[in-house]
């Protein structure tokens, strides 16, 4: 057959031109590069801010003075600021930049609406600012990576709808028949993040900036980690795989290694990911069947994850000589490799015996940062180095600087992760070590912590190196921008899409789907809902999943207020409230935690990292005055402690203006406060506060009863005592 004719037919088929028609009309249109540039610039800006906060957090964790002595700059608040900034501001804006750039070109059309693109950009930045302000002010729901309060949640929903309409509108207007695999990843991201965000944001507002989750205890934990895990999957993974399938292919200038693999890996990935959430809750009070489910699906996840990694790396086969010269490809290779490492490690961490050691330790942040710094960070840098010269019609300012950035990044990751693996492993084992006589070798938690403090210092250095590399990169990109001029509207032309042009009788199943983005979106929704529903429903429907414990009573009004201080100060950034059923934990902390103890916990406060000891059984362990002194200055009670001091709690008056509302809200959520109790709540609150005041006075501490510290002490002394007391009365 004549080669030219064959090639022509092939092009026609791909581009959706009716075969045999000659003299096709090319339509002219422009790509919107301005929005792409804005998002990219915002990503760089927030990335620098977010990582600077990260560096601060890394220092605060072992130098308490770095908390700067104010509530607004203390670890419990800066840590969520850091995580939110890097996930939603750095990575979020990078996703939008990459999606807007690649989508227009893959579909040969401009984005659906310039207005929506603009709204998307500005509202997203507004949300980021609102997030930063509220988080530092201690306004938080406490759910990790979903800390923002309900008005911001609503704003996020609005932006997400805008993004979705803009994206689906663009797909419907495309000039290319087939939806390339990258687009499926973008669509799956859109659909799933929407579902996750809504389910995990169901809160009962009690004021403009305060709400309680409608779920409690075990259910709340399951929903949160179903969300948390899938935020990793559908915010940090699927969009980036989509970006990989476009930008890596472009940079390598060769098609993806196996397109078939990309399809299988896409569907398996989104199917399996949605089930894996419970692996964050192994050995907790979560029912066993849900834990097993999480483990099994997590282990299976390794296959589709590696499918993606292998597909990415093998795309570069035969281009390895270029990898050595091109910083863009270097960033991609290491980024994809880090993805492979993190997704191998993830399933390992889901194995119960590995998890028993690793959970709550620094192993987990190490795992996360291989993914965040390596996969998300390096892919982002690679994309920007490739994209900036193109949208500015110029060349990269300096390849040498880009190479320097690359090596600083690699070094930064190594210095970040290696000491943290070491720390996690060391401390995890120390905490479990018994002497020959069968007692804990390190009964004092602080002993094990001080052992790994030097590792924290090295980690901070690693972070500083990585951030310095980023600064070099930002400079390089800035100089690139200066040397060119933004091609705000990049002209292109392409024949219009002729419906049903593909007439050789081979309407393969998937092609039909791809032509109907809405159908595709629906199927994706079904796939993820199957997982979500089967996983979540039993916990909600079957009462026996949470056996009730008769001795568990609702919090008193003062304890409830203390609990909100605990939430607002972000104590759960360092403290868990979940004693796992290991002898090493029951010896250290006391009776292991039961699901039934948390039934009134809106929200649950199990935590995910133990920089300090577990607090679930701390009630009654110390005197009130111990807590008073410890909160004012931890080292006074625990020499060498790295817990931040909270002296303002001793100064600030407890705000009781919302107490009645809180009681009412809790009752609405099923907490059995008697009808009308809200009217007597303050009376009880004052009475309990006066009792604590009197006890403190006995120990020589003079304080008014209306201080925040009093409420916090009430809460801490209550923790875990329902079960303790019940046992004492039984004996």
Residues making contact with other proteins (CB under 8 A): 10-11, 13-15, 102, 105-106, 108, 176, 178, 180-182, 245-246, 249-251, 253-256, 259-260, 263-264, 267-268, 271-272, 275, 287-289, 292-293, 296-297, 300, 390, 393, 490-494, 506, 508-510, 527, 530-531, 534-535, 538, 542, 544-545, 547
Q: Which of the choices ligand HEC, other proteins, none does residue 568 contact, using the CB cut-off of 5 to 8 A by kind?
A: none
Query: 462 and 413 in contact (C-beta within 8 Å)?
Result: yes
Instruction: List 32's β-bridge partners, or say none.
Output: 489
> Which helix or strand (DSSP H or E) is residue 31 part of?
strand 26-32
The whole-angstrom separation of Cα 270 and Cα 276 is 11
Residue choice 49, 61, 86, 252 for contact with ligand HEC (CB under 6 A): 61
Centre a 10 Å sphere on the Cβ of residue 534 and count the other Cβ atoms it contains.
Answer: 12
One residue of 181, 223, 573, 654 binding ligand HEC per CB under 6 A: 573
**Partner touching 289 among other proteins, ligand HEC, none, CB below 5 to 8 Å by kind:** other proteins
Q: Hey, how many other C-beta atoms are within 10 angstroms of the C-beta on 132?
A: 18
Instruction: Report phi then psi at 122, rounded to 5.
Output: -70, -40
DSSP string, 362-378: THHHHHHHIIIIIIIIH
Minimum CB–partner distance for residue 28 and other proteins (Å): 9
CB of 204 to other proteins, least distance (A): 29
Compare residues 71 and 326 and give the one whose CB is closer to ligand HEC.
Answer: 71
- Rounded distance, CA 594 to CA 266, Å? 38
What is the closest distance, in whole angstroms, from the C-beta atom of residue 458 to ligand HEC in the complex?
18
- Written in H, E and C, the secondary structure of 314-371 is HHCCCCHHHHHHCHHHHHHHHHHHHHHHHHHHHHHHHCHHHHHHHCECCHHHHHHHHH
Q: To which residue do tokens 């039961």 refer?
A: 594
What residues form DSSP beta bridges with 27? 494
Burial bucket for residue 305 (CB in 10 Å: 0-12, 13-18, 19+)? buried
446/427 Cα distance (integer angstroms): 10
Selection from ligand HEC, other proteins, none that 105 binds (CB < 5 to 8 A by kind) is: other proteins
By C-beta, is 350 or 577 nearer to ligand HEC?
A: 577
Nearer of residues 69 and 547 to other proteins, judged by Cβ: 547
Specify the 3-state DSSP secondary structure of 30. strand
Interatomic CA distance for residues 105 and 379, integer angstroms: 19
509 binds, among ligand HEC, other proteins, none (CB under 5 to 8 A by kind): other proteins
What CA–CA distance (Å, rounded) separates 51 from 86?
Answer: 7
How far is 655 from 666, CA to CA, in rounded Å?
18
Closest contact distance (angstroms) between CB of 456 and ligand HEC is 11
Any contact of residue 332 with ligand HEC (CB under 6 A)? no
Give the one entry of other proteins, ligand HEC, none that residue 612 binds, where binding means its C-beta sits below a cut-off of 5 to 8 angstroms depending on kind.
ligand HEC
Question: Reduced to 3 states, what is the DSSP secondary structure of residue 656?
Answer: coil
Among positions 540-569, residues that touch ligand HEC (CB under 6 A) are 566, 569
Q: Is the dihedral of CA 307, 313, 315, 317 positive or negative?
A: negative
Residues 681-720 interacting with ligand HEC (rule: CB under 6 A): 712, 716
Residue 141 touching ligand HEC (CB under 6 A): no
| Among 446, 486, 701, 726, interactor with ligand HEC by CB under 6 A | 446
Residue 448: other Cβ atoms inside 10 A: 22
CA of 611: how far to CAs of 70, 588, 639, in Å? 20, 15, 16
> Does 641 participate in binding ligand HEC (rule CB under 6 A)?
yes
Q: How far is the CB of 149 from ligand HEC (least distance, A)?
A: 19
Q: Between 535 and 722, name the residue whose CB sits nearer to other proteins.
A: 535
Q: Which residue is nearest to ligand HEC (CB)?
A: 612
Q: Which does 621 bind (CB under 5 to 8 A by kind): ligand HEC, other proteins, none?
A: ligand HEC
Nearer of residues 31 and 215 to other proteins, judged by Cβ: 31
Q: Quick check: 109 binds ligand HEC (CB under 6 A)?
A: no
Binder of residue 574, out of other proteins, ligand HEC, none (CB less than 5 to 8 A by kind) = ligand HEC
d(CA 95, CA 81): 19
**CA-based nearest residue to 596, from 542, 535, 549, 652:** 549
Report whether the peptide linkage leading into residue 676 is cis, meaning its omega lies within 30 degrees of zero: no
Among 571, 599, 666, 671, binds ligand HEC (CB under 6 A): 571
Question: Which of 39/245 has CB closer to other proteins?
Answer: 245
Interaction between residue 579 and ligand HEC (CB under 6 A): no
Closest CA to 64 of 590, 702, 649, 612: 612
Neighbours of 651 (CB within 10 A): 11
358 binds ligand HEC (CB under 6 A): no
CB of 240 to ligand HEC, least distance (A): 31
Instruction: Please give the structure tokens belonging to residue 699.
Output: 């120990």
Which tokens belong to 351? 């194995």
Which one of ligand HEC, other proteins, none is in contact with 646 (Cβ closer than 5 to 8 A by kind)? ligand HEC
Give the residue with the Cβ less far from other proteins, 7 or 518.
Answer: 7
Q: Tokens representing 486?
A: 């933004």
Q: Could you give the string, one character per residue 592-621, with x where binding to ligand HEC holds by CB under 6 A and - elsewhere?
A: -------------------xxx-x--x--x
Kindly indicate which of the ranges 126-134, 153-161, 443-451, 540-548 contains the residues binding ligand HEC, using the contact rule CB under 6 A: 443-451
Give residues in contact with ligand HEC (CB under 6 A).
61, 75-76, 445-446, 449, 566, 569, 571, 573-575, 611-613, 615, 618, 621, 634, 638, 641-644, 646, 712, 716
């Amino acid at each position: 057959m004549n080669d030219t004719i064959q090639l022509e037919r092939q092009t026609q088929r791909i581009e959706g031109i009716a075969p045999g028609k000659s003299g096709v009309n090319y339509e002219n249109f422009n790509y919107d590069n301005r929005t792409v540039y804005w998002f990219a610039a915002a990503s760089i800006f927030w990335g620098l801010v977010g990582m600077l906060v990260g560096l601060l957090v890394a220092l605060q964790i072992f130098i308490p003075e770095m908390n700067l002595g104010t509530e607004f700059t203390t670890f419990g608040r800066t840590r969520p600021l850091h995580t939110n900034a890097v996930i939603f501001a750095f990575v979020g804006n990078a996703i939008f930049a990459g999606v807007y750039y690649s989508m227009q070109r893959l579909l040969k059309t401009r984005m659906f609406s310039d207005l929506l693109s603009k709204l998307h950009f500005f509202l997203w930045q507004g949300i980021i600012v609102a997030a930063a302000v509220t988080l530092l002010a201690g306004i938080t729901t406490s759910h990790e990576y979903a800390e923002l309060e309900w008005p911001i949640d609503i704003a996020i929903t609005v932006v997400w709808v805008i993004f979705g309409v803009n994206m689906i509108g663009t797909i419907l207007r495309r000039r290319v028949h087939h939806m390339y695999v990258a687009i499926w990843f973008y669509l799956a991201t859109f659909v799933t993040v929407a579902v996750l965000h809504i389910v995990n944001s169901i809160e009962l507002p009690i004021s403009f900036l305060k709400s309680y989750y409608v779920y409690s205890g075990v259910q709340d934990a399951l929903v949160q980690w179903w969300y948390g895990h899938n935020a990793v999957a559908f915010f940090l993974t699927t969009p980036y795989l989509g970006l990989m399938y476009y930008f890596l292919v472009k940079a390598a200038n060769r098609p993806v290694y196996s397109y078939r693999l990309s399809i299988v890996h896409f569907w398996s990935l989104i199917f399996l990911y949605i089930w894996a959430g419970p692996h964050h809750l192994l050995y907790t009070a979560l029912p066993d069947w849900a834990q097993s489910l999480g483990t099994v699906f997590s282990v299976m996840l390794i296959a589709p994850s590696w499918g993606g990694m292998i597909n990415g790396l093998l795309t570069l086969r035969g281009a390895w000589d270029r990898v050595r010269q091109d910083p863009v490809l270097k960033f991609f290779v290491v980024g994809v490799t880090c993805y492979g490492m993190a997704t191998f490690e993830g399933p390992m961490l889901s194995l119960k015996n590995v998890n028993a050691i690793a959970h709550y330790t620094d192993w987990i942040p190490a795992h996360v940062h291989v993914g965040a710094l390596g996969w998300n960070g390096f892919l982002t840098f690679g994309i920007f180095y490739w994209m900036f010269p193109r949208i500015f019609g110029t060349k990269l300012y300096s390849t040498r600087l880009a190479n320097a950035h690359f090596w600083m990044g690699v070094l930064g990751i190594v210095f970040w992760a290696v000491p943290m693996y070491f720390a996690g492993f060391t401390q995890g084992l120390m905490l479990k070590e018994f002497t020959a006589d069968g007692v804990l070798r390190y009964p004092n938690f602080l002993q094990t912590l001080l052992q790994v403090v030097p590792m924290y210092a090295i980690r901070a250095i690693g972070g500083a190196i990585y951030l310095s590399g980023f600064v070099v990169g930002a400079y390089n990109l800035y100089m690139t921008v200066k040397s060119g001029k933004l091609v705000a509207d990049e002209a292109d032309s392409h024949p219009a899409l002729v419906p049903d042009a593909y007439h050789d009788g081979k309407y393969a199943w998937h092609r039909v789907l791809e032509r109907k983005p809405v159908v595709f979106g629906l199927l994706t929704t079904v796939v993820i809902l199957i997982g979500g529903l089967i996983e979540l429903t039993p916990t909600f429907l079957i009462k026996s999943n949470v056996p009730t414990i008769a001795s568990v009573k609702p919090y008193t009004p003062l304890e409830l207020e203390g609990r909100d201080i605990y939430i607002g100060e972000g104590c759960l950034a360092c403290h868990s409230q979940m004693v796992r059923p290991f002898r090493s934990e029951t010896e250290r902390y006391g009776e292991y935690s039961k699901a039934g103890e948390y039934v009134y916990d809106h929200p649950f406060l199990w935590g995910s990292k133990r920089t300090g000891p577990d607090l679930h059984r701390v009630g009654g362990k110390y005197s009130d005055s111990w807590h008073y002194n410890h909160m004012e200055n931890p080292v006074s009670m625990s020499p060498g402690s790295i817990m931040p001091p909270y002296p303002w709690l001793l100064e600030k008056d407890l705000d009781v203006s919302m107490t009645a509302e809180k009681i009412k809200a809790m009752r609405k959520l099923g907490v059995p406060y008697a009808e009308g109790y809200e009217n007597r709540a303050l009376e009880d609150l004052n009475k309990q506060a006066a009792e604590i005041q009197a006890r403190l006075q006995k120990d020589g501490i003079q304080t008014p009863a209306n201080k925040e510290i009093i409420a916090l002490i009430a809460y801490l002394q209550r923790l875990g005592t329902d079960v303790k007391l019940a046992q004492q009365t039984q004996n």
